[in-house]
A and B are shown apart, each in its own frame.
Chain A
Amino acid sequence: MMWNFNSIDNNVALIEDSGLHITYYQLNAMSRNLSNFFSGKKLVFCLCKNTIGSILGYVTFVNSKQVPLLLNSELDSSLLHFLFDTYKPQYMWIPKEQLNLFSDLSVIYNIYDYVLIKTNFNDNTNINDELALLLTTSGSTGSPKLVRQSYKNIKANTESIVEYLKIDKNEKAITTLPMNYTYGLSIINSHLYAGATLLLTDKSILEKEFWHFFKEYNATSFGGVPYTYEILEKLRFFKMDLPSLKTMTQAGGKLLPSLHEKFAKYALENNKDFVVMYGQTEATARMAYLPAEKSLEKFGSMGFAIPGGKFELYDLNSNVITENDVVGELVYYGDNVTLGYAEELSDLEKGDERHGKLVTGDMAYRDKDGYHFVVGRKKRFLKIFGNRVNLDEIERMIKKEFNIMNCACSGYDDNLFIFLVEDFNTNDIKTFLEDKTKLNRAAFNVKFIEKIPKNDSGKILYKEFKEHF
């Protein structure tokens, strides 16, 4: 069992912004009821929200060795149906209000705002025993590529996070991220593991209700992606009176060093901890953290490997770099390195393909004191508002939808540029991308250029777009 709720009984586990709350004892009892519907090892699609029902389903499925695939409840319905047809889940755990998406299927159980649905797919897959959980690599484009996480992965990462963030049962973390997102999920995993309280809301930090909820229940911590911290700065967060707040964590992309410095300074002066971290879904969640007491001194750094993990830097020939201040590709070793990917149903039978080693695709260097600084990426993807966006996938989506031959995508974090040769309605393209990716149109810039730069063999020269940003 991942979480053993029995021993911690009457602590409050989950509080919703509606005021509804349940203790660990109740969570355990309800979880046992729900688990009675399952035998064997089945795939369950979970459409996630930050509510009691959503979390009850997730912990039950993991604890009773079912395999949940966590998806955002707001995922575009055509992308959802595509995943549904690809992976043929036996069960679905979905919010009641989304029942209309699968109205031809039968509901077998309902509790709180969630229902359990049995699908009509046959059970032909022999799901690997180690497989605990599936997460998407890119929550937004609905790619069928999933990350396969094992029980060992989740346990190792959760224990490490609880240790380095010193999470105990007195903590009250408030949700600021979707639950299907690895960082949001790691906060849920670690707090449930420590017997702490989770304050559940889908309200954003831009809504008064969020801050009312925060203050009413004395939240002690929250996490944020770089964009969260940009918003907080604009909201004049530094002047807010939040006496209960003890810890702020940051992950999901590199924070601007200047912003890192500001928050580190604020935390230091106000007796709070600001912890910058680094991770990937492929490493379950976390790989590195910068201890709060070093946050100001080493701003711009993501620190060093978490307890139980180890970093190496590789040069172009995959030799380990031993010198300081030399940029190489970051390689991580640890029990939280996930099993591998799945791209189709039969992949759920596969075992461990990575054997504890993850080549991250991030370029970084290490300073003389052993702190790591990420400088860029080897692969073609951006982080947009904390979400990984594959540029090649976006390119393909646009080409297909608009039937355009000449299209190239490039950009930097939070700014995706779409380069076109033909004249097109910019608004249509932005609306299409917003619709498909559920990312705000502010991230999309459409630019018209004379021609797409290519080399002799016809490969697009993405580096040459930089001058157009």
Chain B
Amino acid sequence: MNNREIYVKVFLDTLGVEEKELEGLKYQDVPSWDSVGHMSLMAELEEAFDIMMDTEDILDFSSFEKGFEILNNYDVEF
């Protein structure tokens, strides 16, 4: 799996959404992406890419698209 596929899979598994819902998906758009879901999502992404995110980035991670930008800062390339 390439990085994009891993990223997508983490979203699908953690939030229980369908792939077609991902585009434009924002924090709190779906019930599963609440504060609890957000922390699980961050933990799963950290594990999948073996990184440790800063507080600002965890708070900034507000959408499916924004995540690409943030992970780029941790040398995860898409």
Contacts and interface: CB of A to CB of B under 8 A. Distances in A.
Interface of A: 204-208, 211, 227, 230-231, 234-236, 239-240, 385, 427, 430-431, 434-435, 438-443
A240 B55 contact: yes
Contact of A231 (B16, B27, B35): B35
A441 B32 contact: yes
A206 B55 contact: no
Contacts of B42: 234
Contacts of B27: 206-207
A207 B32 contact: no
Given A207-B59, A211-B59, A235-B55, A438 B38 contact: no
B34 to A, nearest CB: 5
Contacts of B35: 204-206, 231, 440
Nearest to A431: B16
A234 B39 CA distance: 8
Contact of B58 (A206, A385, A430, A438): A206
Nearest to A237: B55
A431 B15 CA distance: 10
A441 B37 CA distance: 8
Contact of A204 (B16, B34, B40, B54): B34
Nearest to B61: A206
B36 A236 contact: no
A227 B54 CA distance: 19
Contacts of B34: 204, 440
Contacts of A240: 55
A206 B59 contact: yes
A211 B60 CA distance: 12
A205 B58 CA distance: 11
Contacts of B15: 441
A435 B31 contact: yes
A206 B32 contact: no
Interface in B16-39: 16, 27, 31-32, 34-39
B59 A434 contact: no
A227 B16 contact: no
Interface residues of B, number: 20
A434 to B, nearest CB: 5
A440 to B, nearest CB: 4
B39 A206 contact: yes
Given A430-B16, A431-B16, A438-B31, A208 B59 contact: yes
A446 to B, nearest CB: 12
Contacts of B16: 427, 430-431, 434, 441
10 contacts: A206-B35, A206-B58, A208-B60, A231-B39, A234-B42, A236-B55, A240-B55, A440-B36, A441-B16, A442-B37
Nearest to A205: B35
Given A206-B27, A206-B58, A441-B37, 6 more contacts: A207-B27, A230-B39, A385-B36, A434-B31, A439-B36, A440-B40
A436 to B, nearest CB: 10
B31 A442 contact: no
Contacts of A235: 55, 58-59
The 8 closest A-B pairs by CB, nearest first: A440-B36, A204-B35, A442-B40, A208-B59, A206-B35, A235-B55, A440-B37, A236-B55
A439 B34 CA distance: 9
Interface in B30-66: 31-32, 34-40, 42-43, 54-55, 58-60
Nearest to A236: B55
A382 to B, nearest CB: 14
Contacts of A385: 36
A204 B37 CA distance: 12
A208 B60 CA distance: 7
A441 B39 CA distance: 12
A469 B12 CA distance: 24
A231 B38 CA distance: 10
